[in-house]
Structure 1
Amino acid sequence: MPSSRSQAALIGIALLGLALTACQDTASGHVVGRNGARVVETVTNPPIDGCHRFPEGVTNVDNQTQSNLVLYTTQDCTVPPGGQSNYLDIGNSDQAVKATGPWHSFSFASE
């Protein structure tokens, strides 16, 4: 029986290692996009890599993650000519202004 205990311990250590590695690839918490008072989307523990699109433009974004965000008016996380992006710190909220229009996507800022 000692070998089955050793195998169980090794499997447990391997699973713990996988779980810890997976946590590093996600932003712990929520990103909430609203259009006025209506919630458009809540993203829970999103991957930190890549571009994340809102299903429609949002006028308010709450960053309830442990990572900083960059908000974009485009759907592909790019800044259009003459446009801008917006940096959103951990635990903060942002409201789109009429001059920029609604936010359509976000990515996580490199830290």
Structure 2
Amino acid sequence: MSVTAPPTVLRRRTGIAAGAVLLALAATGCSGLGRTAVGPVSYTTEKDEVVTVHSPSVKGCHTMDPAGSGKVDNRTMIDMILYTTRDCSGRGTAYVATTFSDTNAPRALPWRSYSFVH
């Protein structure tokens, strides 16, 4: 004698299996998204224009206006490093903790790029 499950049990199992597959697909789809520094980074150009970047990626080097900036506000949730070069390299860096700002001295080189500490 063979025992078969009633139709409601089969539908429930099928629904659970389909839900598990959809959840797995959603999780793998979201894992490809890059992490961001939640919050804005603002800097002032030499023409006194304020540039604001909202939630930039924590990966890589971020360039600023070609002329650079003398004032940077880090309102993100991640610390950042400022560079005087356009490629986030070299000496003369500044560490700016989360929710802090940096203002250059009048004779200092302007900041031209930044990266995040992660």
Question: TM-score, normalising length from structure 2?
Answer: 0.72
Distance 1:65 1:78, change over 3 A: same
Aligned to 1:58, which of 69, 80, 87? 69
Aligned to 1:88, which of 82, 96, 104? 96
Aligned length: 105
- DSSP 3-state at the match of 2:40: strand
Per the TM alignment, residue 6 of structure 1 is displaced from its structure 2 partner at its CA by 3.8
- DSSP 3-state at the match of 2:86: coil
Name the CA distance, whole Å, in 2 between partners of 1:26 and 1:16. 18
Superposition CA RMSD, Å: 2.4
**Structure 1 unmatched ranges of 5 or more:** none
Question: TM-score, normalising length from structure 1?
Answer: 0.76
**Structure 2 unmatched ranges of 5 or more:** 1-10
Aligned-residue sequence identity (percent) comes to 30
Q: CA-to-partner distance for each residue in 1:52-77, whole Å, 9 max, x for gaps?
A: 00133112111111100000111011
Aligned to 2:85, which of 52, 60, 74? 74
- DSSP 3-state at the match of 2:33: helix
Per the TM alignment, residue 19 of structure 1 is displaced from its structure 2 partner at its CA by 3.4
Name the CA distance, whole Å, in 2 between partners of 1:63 and 1:107. 11
Name the CA distance, whole Å, in 2 between partners of 1:53 and 1:95. 17
The amino acid of 2:62's aligned partner reads: H
Per the TM alignment, residue 11 of structure 1 is displaced from its structure 2 partner at its CA by 1.6
